[in-house]
Amino acid sequence: MTAHDARALRSSHLRVARPSRDLERTETFWVRGLGLEVLYRAGPDAEGGHALVMVGWPGAAWHLELVGDPDGLTPPAPTEEDLLVLYLGAPVDDALVERLVTAGWEGRSGQEPILGPLGRHHR
């Protein structure tokens, strides 16, 4: 990797797209639960024919693109290893856990030892 390649990598933006059978519920989890912000929204008449919501932290080098799939045309494929891990930079406080539970999070111990006692994920 050249120095130019390394600079380009640091300035790249990561997009993670995930289908959702219930876009409103999924948005509630990420926005009300975790505190991400809606960065962009498009209705079902948008290009591609799917409603979508992009969520993230403004100015971050990544965002989640939640794509509406109410008819379930994209088969679900989650496994124990299908994780999205966000490092929040501080211990998780009880208020955050309560917001996540209220938003639909079903905590379950993670399989990864690095995740520790709060290593849980949302299905």
Segment 17-68, tens digit of pLDDT: 888 888 999 999 899 988 899 999 999 888 888 899 999 988 888 899 999 9
pLDDT band at 8 (very low <50, low <70, confident <90, very high): low
Query: SS3 of 20, please?
Result: strand
* pLDDT reported for residue 54: 95
Q: How far apart are CA 85 and CA 116, in angstroms?
A: 12
- The domains located in the chain, with CATH, are 13-71+79-106 (3.10.180.10)
Q: What is the dihedral of CA 63, 67, 72, 73, to 10 degrees?
A: -100
